[in-house]
Amino acid sequence: MSLSVPSAPGVKSARTRGASAIDFKSATTGVAAKAMRNELNKMVSEVKDPVQKRVFDLEMQSFFSLFNRYLIEKAKHEVINWDKIQPLAPELVPSYSDLPDTQDTSILEKLVVLKLNGGLGTTMGLSGSPKSAIEVRDGMTFLDLSVRQIEHLNEVHKTNVPFILMNSFNTDDETQRIIQKYANHNIQILTFNQSRYPRVGKESLLPVPRSATSDKSQWYPPGHGDIFDAISNSGLLDKLIDAGKEYMFVSNVDNLGADVDLKILKHLVDSQCEFLAELTDKTKADVKGGTLINYEGTVRLLEIAQVPSEHVEDFKSIRKFKYFNTNSIYINLKALKRVLEEEGMELDIIINNKVADDGTPVIQLETAMGAAIKHFKNAHGINVPRSRFLPVKACSDLLLITSDLYSLEHGKLVMNPQRMFAQTPVVKLGDTFKKIRDFNKRFRTVPNILELDHLTVSGDVWFGRNITLRGTVIIVANEGSRIDLPDGSILENKLVSGNVSIIDH
């Protein structure tokens, strides 16, 4: 199938007289779109295998639609009007604590659970491996814990909730190898791949790859907003609907708090909500997180990248925007099919500026899953406890979830009841702890942090065994200095500086 260019506003045919009156930016948009279309069509035409060609063609059509919208929006200089942004009304963010308890498990027959599994563990020092393969607790990986949660759900409620992984071209091969070990478990595992889009030269506005088989560094997975096109193009959406499935619960594979909750599912059904987003109270650690807003009467997702620079501080305000988006959503599958077929899914474009291996500036056009909320009926948020949002983005998070703050129950992390405060401690580990390998070496055993409020560690610091940290602890080894904390140390409200002196803080 050949790609056609939707006409940009104000663009006339090149043969039309009066070309000098054509809006320059719109004309440029048309030229760039045509050049991109030609390059993509050329790549599609060179794919020989008919099945691969169909998949690649669908991906390039989706990419071209996104690219063309990017050009049009760039020409119009459209930005969000800050004066039209309002926080959501309270009835659009009911509290989890106000939901009635339920023992009704009938909805589980209509449920599927999907984990976003497209990311690599690069930032934590595991290049080439899926993040879901990182061991996080008791020798178990993110994937092990997710599988255990669904297995337990199926065992307890005598049901069969399928478990779906959305992989990327970066994670699929390794994930397929890993999931073989679950073959004899009480769980049905399905997978599909999110799309593969070409990086775009920032100056040329042309695709960096020249063929479908170009090196994978020239391609990128276009953000979790791609889930809707990808699950539809894979044929899985139709298969799920045909199998009687009606609802899909989606979350990040590294969020160890996002398990199936009957109270939330009952609310989803009772409120006839087609799209439900889990929000949680914003703290000072979350000020950059996206939030749901009322924009001209519609529920919308607002990400910090969309905020005009002069309003960034307003966006970070806990007073104006109380909640942030955890990226855990529930979606009605039939409604999703309707939106894709009748309206089309136009998600806000996130422009991710990168530099290619050869130094060339490139752009990646991405979308966020939560932005789809504006397309669905009765869509709203739900304010959930922080225990449902336990992401592991860095080794600072790893310290929390491997500590005595939590225990494991059927794959779910449960807060230690002896913890006096509802909030987890703020932990900031410096660059020397950035990689998992270094993290494991520098902590002989994970410290006891049940009574910790805040921990900052910077520089060449080494922890012995059975160390206890309480209150606010700051440990800074100056350049050229090394701090070794001996076995059994107890630090409470202490500042430990480069000369290993310990003073009250």
Give the CB-side neighbour count of residue 49, counting CA atoms within 13 A.
Answer: 6
Task: Pull the structure tokens for residue 396.
Answer: 């600072």
State the Cα angle at 90 between 392 and 296, rounded to 5°: 95
Nearest to 239 by CA among 154, 182, 164: 164
Q: Which of 402, 392, 454 has the alpha carbon at shortest distance from 423? A: 454
Residues catalogued as catalytic: 393
Residue closest to 329 by CA, chosen among 252, 426, 217, 222: 252
From the list 485, 458, 480, the residue with the least C-alpha distance to 469 is 485
C-alpha 132/C-alpha 124 separation (Å) is: 12
Q: Enter the tokens of residue 62.
A: 């989706």
Sequence-distant (6+) residues with CB within 8 A of 70 are 349, 351, 365
118, 194 contact by CB (below 8 A): yes
451-480 b/e (C-beta count within 10 Å ≥ 16 → b): ebbebbbbbbbebeeebbbbebbbbbbeee
Q: What is the 3-state secondary structure (H, E, C) of 44-112?
A: HHCCCCHHHHHHHHHHHHHHHHHHHHHHHHHHHCCCCCHHHEEECCHHHCCEHHHCCCCCCCHHHHHEE
Cα separation, 294 vs 84, whole angstroms: 8
Q: How many helices (H) and strands (E) does the chain have?
A: 11, 28
Number of C-beta neighbours around residue 335 at 10 A: 19
Angle, helices 24-45/50-76, rounded to nearest 10 degrees: 170
Tokens of residue 231, six digits: 């699950």
- Alpha-carbon distances, residue 423 vs 143, 258, 337, 450 (angstroms): 26, 17, 39, 11
Sign of torsion over alpha carbons 408, 414, 419, 425 = positive
β-partners of residue 476 are: 458
User: 400 to each of 181, 268, 332, 391, 407, how far by Cα in Å?
Assistant: 28, 31, 34, 10, 11
Alpha helices of 416-505 — where are they, by DSSP H? 436-442
Pairing of β 468-476 and β 452-458: parallel
